[in-house]
Amino acid sequence: MYDIQKIREDFPILSRKVYNKPLIYLDNGATTQKPRCVVESITDEYYSVNANVHRGVHFLSQQATNLHEASRETVRKFINARSTSEIVFTRGTTESINLVAATFVDSQMKEGDEVIVSVMEHHSNIVSWQLQAARKGIVLKVIPMNDRGELLLDEYEKLFSPRTKIVSVAHVSNVLGTINPAKKLVEIAHAHNVPILIDGAQSIPHMKVDVQDLDADFFVFSGHKVYGPTGVGVLYGKEEWLDKLPPYQGGGEMIQNVSFEKTTFNVLPFKFEAGTPDYIGTTALAKALDYVSAIGMDNISAYEHELTVYAMQRLKEIPGMRIFGEAEQKGGVISFLVGNIHHFDMGTLLDRLGIAVRTGHHCAEPLMHRLGIEGTVRASFGLYNTKEEVDALVAGIERVATMFG
Ligand code: PLP
């Protein structure tokens, strides 16, 4: 049973007020709130364990190392990777993509080679590649979509050429909510002998992900979007690929032996983890993953799906409502505009009613160009949102619309 009241009680922030109104937090696509167990894990570890990992012989260092490495195992299990060698801790999705873009382009690509991305990517999955492209003369090719916000698979197929070296696509769009057919995208890339990165920033909090079943070569996500702390994220990479890629940053942890003549590098995954990792954060991330696992990812998906269907239906009752993203497979992200009301005005006035939504281009300007708009209002759901909150959102939008005549 999905005990929504009990779940909400796990998140202290949900009972606070803003402008003397109960907080209705609908900005989960940007970041999620934290359950008590995650926050407590951070203070507990600082209070009772804190010591730098991997390097110490003393008790605390070993305990901190054990916690850190146990968290890697929790992540491995959560996404069903083969081995913890395939789990690299990073600062988040953005750093994970930059790591792959920099090391892959550097070691695997030549001038004139091509990367395929899609029109609905977050800037982090565009600009990371563009930076490398500019340095080395790499070409970006873009998978288009239809007006419902679904990628055109036929067009995707046509983009492959002998110069295509990698594909990098979002699992779920942070603007449209489209759940892309990741398995199919992987299959098509592999049919062309091309590896593929799946950006799981918006999928990992909402659905079960099995990287072996998905068969993607890289899968990346951020801890803070899945009820974990800010500052930690994950790069999953198949061992065969991580082995082929050179180190990203130099420093402690990532080396085996250093001399002025020759330096050798550490084994996976440490080769990619230069410097002191956020070991407090990785423990807290593991707590967050344990938390959602205890509820059950399938239960979370089913609950959020029902909430999204309800919200879509209620929002469409509002006169002048335009929803961007009506894919058949759609997660709990709803972008909209109402009449001629500017997204910023709508967001600001909803905020005064205690409703937190996001406004703007959502770090997806190329997608805004495709849609022919400057920005949207975006409501994005988490596992603790309710139909009553959707009703409050609808009432809030109607009130703002009335104010604007
Ligand atoms: N990719 C997608 C699809 C996102 O939605 C986001 C954040 O909104 C990111 C990447 C970047 O995540 P982060 O800022 O946590 O690195």
How many Å lie between the centroid of ligand 1 and the Cα of residue 245?
Answer: 23
For ligand 1, atom 8: residue with the closest CA = 30
How many Å lie between the centroid of ligand 1 and the Cα of residue 290?
Answer: 22
Query: By 3-state DSSP, what share of the chain in percent is helix, strand and coil, each rounded to 5?
Result: 45, 20, 35
For ligand 1, atom 5: residue with the closest CA = 174
Residues with Cβ < 8 Å from 157, sequence gap 6 or more? 188
Cβ pair 273, 255 in contact under 8 A: no
H helices of 192-228, where? 211-214
For ligand 1, atom 6: residue with the closest CA = 201
Give the domains, in start order, of the chain with CATH numbers.
4-28+296-403 (3.90.1150.10), 40-293 (3.40.640.10)
pLDDT in tens, the chain (405 residues): 899 999 999 999 999 999 999 999 999 999 999 999 999 999 999 999 999 998 789 999 999 999 999 999 999 999 999 999 999 999 999 999 999 999 999 999 999 999 999 999 999 999 999 999 999 999 999 999 999 999 999 999 999 999 999 999 999 999 999 999 999 999 999 999 999 999 999 999 999 999 999 999 999 999 999 999 999 999 999 999 999 999 999 999 999 999 999 999 999 999 999 999 999 999 999 999 999 999 999 999 999 999 999 999 999 999 999 999 999 999 999 999 999 999 999 999 999 999 999 999 999 999 999 999 999 999 999 999 999 999 999 999 999 999 998
Report the atom number in ligand 1 closest to the C-alpha of 170. 3
H helices of 232-352, where? 239-244, 279-295, 297-316, 343-352
Ligand 1 site residues (CB inside 6 A) read 92-94, 122, 124-125, 170, 174, 199, 201-202, 222
Active site residues: 363
How many Å lie between the centroid of ligand 1 and the Cα of residue 175?
Answer: 11
CB atoms under 10 Å from CB of 70, counted, come to: 13
Q: How many residues does the structure list for the chain?
A: 405
- Mutate which of 93, 119, 333 for ligand 1? The one with the most ligand atoms within 8 Å of its CB, which is 93
